[in-house]
Structure 1
Amino acid sequence: MFYDQAKIFVKGGDGGNGIVAFRREKYVPEGGPAGGDGGRGGSVIIIGNEGLRTLVDLRYQRHYKGTRGEHGMAKTMHGRGGEDRFLKVPIGTVIKDADTGEILADIVKEGQEAVVAKGGRGGRGNARFVSSLNRAPQLAEQGEPGEERWLELELKVLADVGLVGYPNVGKSTLIAAVSAARPKIANYPFTTLEPNLGVVRVEEGKSFVMADIPGLIEGAHEGVGLGHDFLRHTDRSRVLIHVLDMAGTEGRDPLDDFDVIQRELAMYKPQLVEKPMVIAANKMDLTEGEENLERLKAKIGEQYTIFPISAATSEGLKPLIWHVNTILEELGPVQAVEEEKVTHMDVRLKPEKEERFRIERDDEAVFVVTGKEVERHVAMTNFDQEESVVRLSRIFGKMGVDQALRDAGAKHGDPVKIGGLEFDFIEYGGDEEAEKGGDES
C-alpha cells in the first residue's frame, strides 16, 4: 500500500532544571554558590532519505519526542543535553503545521534536515545569578519546555516526467514499455491506485525518472475519484505527457478527454498547464485511431507536439522519449520548488517584530495573559523558591505586564492566568527593575 500522507505529533525535550547548591569544602565555612545549569532538551529533526518511498512508518507511530536534558549538579556541573530524535522521510515530503497550514519545510534532497520541534534550553543554576547585591542567591531556573506541534506530512512524488490522462488510456503500459517499472496492468479503470516510478534510459549517461500518475476524471480538482490524492503528484513533474486513448475503447472521445484533463489541471493549480507538455496519442494499433488522430492534430497540433504511439507494441515510443529528453536538457538542472513559498526550519531567519504579550478577559472575568515570552518565564520559575517568585515579579514589571493589567482594569486581588497557572494581581508600592539577565530569552 502506498502512503503519501501522515499526521504526527512532535515535541522537543524539556530542558533540565538548574539547581541551588553551594560549595562545601574543608576550611571554607561559607562557600559560594555552585549550582550547575540544566542541559538542553533534544530536538525533533526530520531528515530526507532517498531509500524511502512512502510515509507508512509514520502512520503506525504518531508521537515523537526528544529526550529531556539532565538537571544541573553541584560544583557548577552542567547537566547533559538530551538526544535529538531523527525522523527519516522520503525525498519530496512537504511538512506543514497542522493548525495553521503553514509550510514549514520542503525536503527535496538526501540528508536535508528540518528542525520541527526545538528542545527547550536548560535552566540556569544559582551560580549564574550572583551579583554585587546578592552573593548567595537562593534561586534557580526550571528547564524551558520544548516546542510541540501537530504536523501534516505530504509526499509529492519527485519525477522528471509525469504521465497524466484518464484511467485505462495506457499510462501503465507505457511506463512498463520504456522502463523497468512493472505496474499492475488490467483492462479496467483505476487499475493504478498509486504512483509508479520508472527510470527511462535514453542512452549511456542519459536517463530520466517517469511517474505513472493514477488516472484523473472529471471533478478531480474537487476531490472526485481520489482527485486530490492523484493531482498532488503532478506538482513536482517538470514535463507532462498527456496520454490519450485514440481508439476510444472506453466509449469516450479522446478530444473531449483532453479538454477535461486540461481543465482539471488548471482548476487544481493554474501553473500545471504552463508546464511543458507533449501528447502521446496511444492505441494507434486499433481501429478509429487514425481518424481521431487527424481530428486531434487539427485541434491542438499547432500548440502541442503529438506523437502517435502504441504502448502495447512499442511503436513510436523512441521518438517520444528522445523528444522528452531534449526538453529536459533544455530546462537544465533541477531547481528547487518554485510553486510554494517555503520556510526551511533549519535556516533561522530574523523573526518579524510581534507584540510581547496580549491581555484578554475570559467569561469568568479572569485576566488571561498570553505570549511566548511571558509563558516561558512562568514555566521556568520554581514557585517553591521565594527569590524566584520575586524575580518573576520584577521581570513582569520591566516587561510592562503589571501596567498593562492596570490599563485593562485589573484591581488588587483580581485573578490573572498565565500559561495555565492562576495568580492574584498584587499591587506593590512601586515598580522594581528586573535583575540583570532577568528578561533574557
Structure 2
Amino acid sequence: MNGEPTRRSWLMERARAPWRGYLLMLMSVPAMLLASLLSSTLSLISVGVGILVVPCVVGWVRRFTGVYRTRIAEWTGHRIERPYLPPAPEEAAETGNALRLRQFQRVITDPATWRDFAWLLLDPVVALFTAGLPALMIMYGVWGWNLSAWAGAVFGELGWVDYYTFVRVDEHYADGPYRIIGTAVLGTMFIVAGFLLGPKMLDVYGRWGTSLLGPTERSRLALRVQHLTETRSEAVDASAAELRRIERDLHDGAQARLVAMGMSLGAIEHLLDRDPEKARILLAETRASSAKALAELRDLVRGIHPPVLADRGIGDAVRALALDHPLPVEVTVDLPARPEPPVESAVYFAVCEMLTNTAKHSGADRVWVELAYRDEAIRASVTDDGRGGASLEGGTGLRGIERRIGTFDGVLALSSPPGGPTVVTLEVPCSLPASPAL
C-alpha cells in the first residue's frame, strides 16, 4: 500500500519535470528582450535620460526575475530570497528630481541589479542545456519515431539525405529495415533519457538560479538589519500593548474589587455593634469578592507567564492546554531539553493562539499538536481536520503569531486548502542546553 503512492509520485515527478523545464527555457525569450531594453537604457545614462528611465526598467526586470524565483522555488525546490537592498530612509523625505536621483543611485549601486542583468544575458544558454534539455530530447525522440513510421520513407522517395543521430536517412532508407528499427530504438532511448533526466536537470537549473538570483552577503546583511529593525519595532509595540492590557485588566478587575472590598470592610466596621446580621451578610459578600479577585489575578498571571510553563516546561504546558480545549487534542512532544525561557514563552503562546483559532474557526473534530527540535530550531505544528480555507489575511490572529515569533527570527507556514486539512507550522531557531529537561 505504501509503495504505490511512492511509485506514482516518482512517475509524476519525471512526467512533469521536462515540460516545466521547457517552460523555463521559453521564459528566456522575454528575458533576452528585457536584457536588450536594459542595455539600451544604460547606454542613455551619459545623456541624462538614463537617470530617469533606468529605475523604471530595473523595476520591470525585478518583477520578471521575481517570477523566475517563484517558479524555481515551486518546480525545483530551491527557494531563492529576494536580494535587493532596501530603500534608504532618506528616500521617504525626498521628492521630485532628488528622489529620482537617489532611486537611480540605489539601483545602479545594488549588486543584485547587475546579477539580474547577467542572468538575463546568460540564462538563454544555460536553460537550453539544463532545464530545457530533457524536453528537447523527448521531442527529438518523437521525431525519430516519425522517421521510422513515415517521414523516412518520404525522404527516400524525394531523394533527400538526412541523418538521425548516426543513422542515415536517404533514398535507400526503405531498402534497409534495420535502419527503420535503429531509428525507432534511438528515438525511444532519447524519450526515456529525457524523462529520467528531467528532475536532475531541474535541480541543476535551480542551483544555477540560486547562485545568481540569490542575495549577496552585502544585501543579505542589509536585509537582515531591516528585518531586525522591523521586528524590534513590532516587539516594542507588542510589549506596550501587553502592558496596557495588564493595566486595564488590573484597573477594571482586581483593583475595582479590592476597592469595593475596602468599602465593604469599612461598612462592616460600623455595623458590627448596631446590626451584626447585616455585617455577617457583608462579610460573606466580601469573602466572595476576594475569591473572585484572587481568580482574576491568577488568570492575569497565567496570561503573562503560566505557572505550569515555568515549572514543567512547554511540553506539559501544551498538554494542559489540550486538556482544557473543547476539541480532542493529541499532543506529541519530542524535545531533548527545554529551550530558553523567552523562546519557550513565545512558542507556547503561539500554540495557544493557534489552538484558539482552531476552536473558533475550523469546524474540526480533532486536532493534532506536534512539538519537535530539528535542525537547530524548535518546530511546532497544529493540524486540524476542519473545513480549511484559512489565510494569513483572514483575521485569524496568524499575523500576530508571525510578529511574535519574528522577534526570534521565527517563520510561520500555513497550508489550508478548501476542505482541509489545515496545517499551521512555526519554526524558531534556538539552541538547547546539553542537559535534558522537559
* Rg comparison, structure with higher value: 2
The structure in which a higher percent of residues are strand is 1
> TM-score, normalised to structure 2's length?
0.22
> TM-score, normalised to structure 1's length?
0.21
